[in-house]
Amino acid sequence: MPARASAEWKGDLRSGSGSFTAGEGLAGEFSFRSRFEDGPGANPEQLIAAAHASCYSMALSNALASAGSPPDSVRTDASVTLAFVDGAPTITKIELSTVARVPGIDSASFAEHAAAAKTGCPVSKALASVPEIVLEAKLEG
């Protein structure tokens, strides 16, 4: 089943504006200011961060449950860094920070599953060209 989204940009880069929709009920606006400055609205990197955090949380939950340690919760924050490289905006780094509550699992097993989920989730695979993807995984409780 393909996932669908759409976006429209009106005007030139600096003074124009855009809007997007994704799935049911997800919509927003974006602009040069929201992407390259500290202006209001969303930006593509936030959407990538949301997709990566969501995918990683699901992948880790699945890996843990498949190994006999279903989690109570997995919360992941993602940060996507956009920097200018050779004069072009480039995603240079993604940081994933996850905290999980998993009854009855030891730290070593949790770390192993966390690392495997980082490389195995479909969004991680799609973003494999990003030079640096780092993970901080903590077991809570």
56: containing domain? 44-140
Q: Closest Cα to residue 63, out of 55, 3, 133, 136? A: 55
Computed over every residue of the chain, the mean pLDDT equals: 96
pLDDT > 90 fraction of the chain, expressed in percent and rounded: 94
Residue whose entry in the numeric block shows the structure tokens 């449950």: 65
Same domain, 92 and 31: no
4 Cα distance to chain centroid? 17
Same domain, 110 and 59: yes
Same domain, 86 and 128: yes
Note if the pTM is more than 0.75: yes
pLDDT tens-place string over residues 59-96: 999 999 999 999 999 999 999 999 999 999 999 999 99
pLDDT > 70 fraction of the chain, expressed in percent and rounded: 100
Neighbours of 76 (CB within 10 A): 23
Same domain, 31 and 92: no
